Amino acid sequence: MVGALATGCASSSTPTVEEYERSLGSARDRVDYALERITQAGSRDELLERMDEAATTIDDAASDLAEVGAPRKVESETDTLVDALQQLAFDLQATADQIRQPGFGDLVIGTRGLSFESWDAVNLALRAMSAKEIDVAPLERH
């Protein structure tokens, strides 16, 4: 019984800065990879599928990061990041859904890129963490 209690307590403890940086880096890399895949789509259908996949991946990364918790010095920034990631996932999904609507399919014809305020918000949160000496890179432009 003591082992079960100790295990339960360990999973709810605040991560160290090193543990947090690993979790944050993993979440950031998953998001960046998902966004990069969107740009490599070869057709409209593949683009929409990859946008769907990216939305799911980004939302999962946000949930995983929220579940891990954060060191006290970046709790607020982590909450901001999780919210921005969830918004980015929503924005991607909503855009894909909009493109699927009759009359909106031409949105992607000749488009050179997509821009979301939530992407900017994610990078602002990541930069705020860097300012507090958390080792994390911003998302890349793809």
Written as tens digits, the pLDDT of the chain (142 aa) is: 444 434 344 345 899 999 999 999 999 999 999 999 999 999 989 999 999 999 999 999 999 999 999 999 999 999 999 999 999 999 999 999 998 988 766 655 555 556 689 999 999 999 999 999 999 999 998 8
* Cα–chain center distance at 109: 26
- Half-sphere exposure (Cβ direction) of 87: Cα atoms closer than 13 Å: 15
- Half-sphere exposure (Cβ direction) of 40: Cα atoms closer than 13 Å: 7
Q: What is the pTM of this model?
A: 0.85
**In sequence order, which residues have a C-beta less than 8 Å from that of residue 122 and are 6 or more positions away?**
31, 81, 84, 85, 88, 139
